[in-house]
């Protein structure tokens, strides 16, 4: 029997503390934990408790209000302790309070059980709903020159996921120029405007944030989806594309105003709907390229005004080219000219090479162990260009000749990895071992001999991951991926440590120049 709940049973207003950041109301909430299952909990009782104690911030629909969505799609891969622990104890240094003194262990388990259940039906999240979430600074004037006296092209962003912030670093002195708050659970990497002046980030629950790097100020944000994967920016900087799992859409935003321009429902040629695994910018092609999770198609969407024939005053068409492929491909790598797409399939241990000009599959690559192509890099080797990719399930790095599409070498590592990075001015490629007992390892690989020349363990027992280089390639920045972590700066030639910058679980680092030039040593 569900006990009655009245207003006197509700926690004090401080249980859902809200605070304002650049005009946007935010809250840090239960969504910091993964769904792990609560077979013994009573979801019906949990719903009643949720309505009483949680819905003010997260809405009765669980789709998020001042707090993020509390649905399996957004909870499943969040970092942090179990949901029941967060509900009971709250989160240190956040606005999430503990309910342990108010609710019993059974009550807490019941709420967790309710949150682990999928929604009864897919919610609507179209142009109207998106626009209602827009919060934009009307007084915003773009900075004409940087407010700091450092090279703006050598600025590096470090995403700190433990407390939802981004540190803005000078790539020469490594001084912190600013540290700004982001939506919870930023994912997929920031994207920069073509001139490097603006940066955009997206959260797991669909919030897109715009930040002026020259003025060191937030411009605005909007919720483009309910469960988002990543964003891409068009070659001319006019459009943002947001890849959504929920609903199954691609949202196009005006990058200048963050107003929704178009919401594209993603359905295959046979009418099958699909989640969008990722969206990529293809600069030479003036297009976005979509990886789709549920259908064997690759989509290319034009962003060029010259190819659009819409009457004045109407929304842009963004014409879609649907390319049929043999298997579902949901992880992409591109050659430097964006003529070829290499896609990984979970259905086979073969990667497919797609010619984007002809729309035909032209080769297959033997890539067992689930390659992470999104972190692949390229370089010149023995008169040809090679690509290299880590593998998520096997301790190896595959090096592939991009002319013959044959495997040049498989480099054995101390465990499965997640990220690789290099720089045109560096003779080394850096590869982490993100999974397993050797997660504290960073391999340094000679790009000529294809041999590991040094194995770094800068923080024994702690996860070490994701390298980024400075603009000139003289320094490599590595993350200690822990709540009490740091960014370690190395001399990229001598491989000696230069300094450590304490940070809150730094994940990715992103150098402005490397990203806007689509440098060969970084992911695209």
Using one digit for the tens of pLDDT, what is the confidence trace for 213-256? 999 999 999 999 998 999 999 999 999 999 999 899 999 999 99
Tokens standing for 365? 């690559």
- Asked whether residue 27 carries a pLDDT value surpassing 60, the answer given is no
Nearest to 318 by CA among 250, 405, 386, 272: 250
Q: Is residue 385 classed as helix, strand or coil in its secondary structure?
A: strand
Q: Which CATH number fits domain 7-115: 2.60.40, 1.10.10, 1.10.760, 1.10.3470?
A: 1.10.760
Output 440 or 92, whichever has higher pLDDT: 440
- Please give the order of strands across the beta sheet that includes 239-246: 227-233, 239-246, 249-254, 260-265
pLDDT one-digit tens code per residue, 52-70: 888 876 778 887 665 667 7
Q: How far is CA 209 from CA 52, 57, 198, in A?
A: 30, 20, 10
Collect all residues with Cβ–Cβ distance below 8 Å to 428 and sequence separation of at least 6: 422, 444, 445, 446, 447, 453, 492, 495
Tokens standing for 450? 């294809």
Whether the Cβ atoms of residue 114 and residue 106 lie closer than 8 Å to each other: no
* CA end-to-end distance (rounded Å), the chain: 54
The full DSSP string for 161-195 is TTTTEEEEEETTT--EEEEEE--SSB-S--EE-TT
The pTM score is 0.83
- Please give the order of strands across the beta sheet that includes 320-324: 276-282, 287-292, 297-302, 320-324
- Please give the order of strands across the beta sheet that includes 396-401: 377-381, 384-390, 396-401, 407-412
Collect all residues with Cβ–Cβ distance below 8 Å to 287 and sequence separation of at least 6: 300, 301, 302, 303, 304
- Asked whether residue 46 carries a pLDDT value surpassing 50, the answer given is yes
The arithmetic mean of pLDDT across residues 339-357, rounded, is: 91
Given this model, what pLDDT does residue 1 score?
30
Given this model, what pLDDT does residue 2 score?
32
pLDDT one-digit tens code per residue, 460-517: 999 999 999 999 999 999 999 999 999 999 999 999 999 999 999 999 999 999 999 9
Whether the Cβ atoms of residue 499 and residue 491 lie closer than 8 Å to each other: no
pLDDT one-digit tens code per residue, 264-304: 999 999 999 999 999 999 999 999 999 999 999 999 999 98
pLDDT one-digit tens code per residue, 96-129: 678 888 889 898 888 888 888 887 777 789 999 9
Q: Is residue 83 classed as helix, strand or coil in its secondary structure?
A: helix
- Architecture of the structural domain at 369-524: 7 Propeller (2.130)
Where in the chain are the domains?
Answer: 7-115, 369-524
Tokens standing for 409? 């070498």
Q: Is residue 32 classed as helix, strand or coil in its secondary structure?
A: helix
């Amino acid at each position: 029997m569900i006990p009655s709940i009245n207003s006197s049973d509700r926690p004090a207003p401080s249980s859902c503390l809200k605070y304002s950041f650049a005009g946007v109301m935010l809250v840090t909430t239960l969504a910091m934990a993964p769904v792990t299952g609560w077979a013994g909990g009573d979801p019906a009782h949990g719903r009643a408790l949720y309505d009483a104690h949680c819905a003010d911030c997260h809405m009765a629909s669980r789709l998020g209000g001042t707090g993020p969505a509390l649905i399996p799609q957004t909870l499943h891969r969040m970092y942090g302790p179990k949901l029941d622990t967060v509900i009971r104890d709250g989160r240190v240094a956040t606005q999430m309070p503990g309910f342990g003194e108010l609710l019993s262990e059974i009550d807490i388990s019941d709420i967790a059980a309710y949150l682990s259940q999928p929604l009864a039906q897919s919610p609507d999240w179209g142009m109207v709903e998106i626009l209602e979430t827009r919060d934009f600074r009307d007084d915003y004037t773009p900075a004409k020159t940087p407010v700091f006296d450092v090279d703006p092209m050598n600025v590096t962003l470090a995403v700190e996921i433990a407390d939802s912030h981004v540190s803005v670093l000078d790539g020469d002195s490594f001084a912190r120029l600013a540290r700004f708050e982001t939506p919870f659970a930023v994912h997929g990497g920031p994207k920069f405007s073509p001139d490097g002046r603006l940066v955009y980030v997206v959260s797991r629950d669909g919030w897109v944030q715009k930040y002026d790097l020259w003025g060191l100020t937030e411009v605005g944000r909007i919720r483009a989806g309910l469960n988002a994967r990543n964003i891409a920016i068009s070659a001319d900087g006019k459009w943002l594309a947001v890849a959504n799992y929920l609903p199954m859409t691609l949202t196009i935003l005006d990058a200048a105003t963050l107003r929704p321009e178009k919401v594209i429902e993603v359905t295959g040629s046979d009418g099958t709907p699909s989640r969008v695994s990722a969206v990529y910018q293809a600069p030479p092609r003036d297009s976005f390229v979509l990886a789709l999770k549920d259908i064997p198609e690759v989509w290319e969407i034009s962003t060029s005004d010259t190819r659009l024939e819409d009457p004045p005053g109407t929304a842009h068409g963004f014409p879609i080219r649907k390319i049929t492929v043999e298997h579902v491909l949901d992880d992409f790598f591109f050659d430097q000219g964006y003529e070829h797409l290499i896609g990984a399939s979970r259905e086979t241990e073969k990667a497919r090479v797609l010619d984007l000009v002809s729309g035909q599959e032209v080769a297959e690559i033997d890539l067992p162990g689930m390659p992470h192509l999104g972190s692949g890099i390229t370089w010149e080797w023995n008169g040809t260009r090679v690509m290299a990719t880590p593998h998520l399930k096997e301790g190896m790095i595959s090096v592939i000749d991009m002319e013959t599409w044959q495997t040049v070498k498989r480099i054995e590592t101390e465990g499965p990895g997640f990220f690789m990075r290099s720089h045109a001015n560096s003779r080394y490629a850096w590869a982490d071992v993100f999974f397993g007992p050797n997660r504290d390892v960073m391999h340094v690989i000679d790009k000529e001999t294809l041999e590991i020349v040094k194995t770094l363990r800068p923080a024994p027992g702690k996860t070490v991951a994701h390298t980024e280089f400075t603009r000139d390639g003289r320094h490599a920045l590595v993350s200690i991926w822990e709540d009490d972590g740091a960014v370690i700066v190395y001399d990229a030639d001598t491989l000696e440590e230069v300094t450590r910058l304490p940070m809150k679980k730094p994940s990715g680092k992103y150098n402005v120049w490397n990203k806007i030039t689509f440098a060969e040593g970084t992911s695209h």
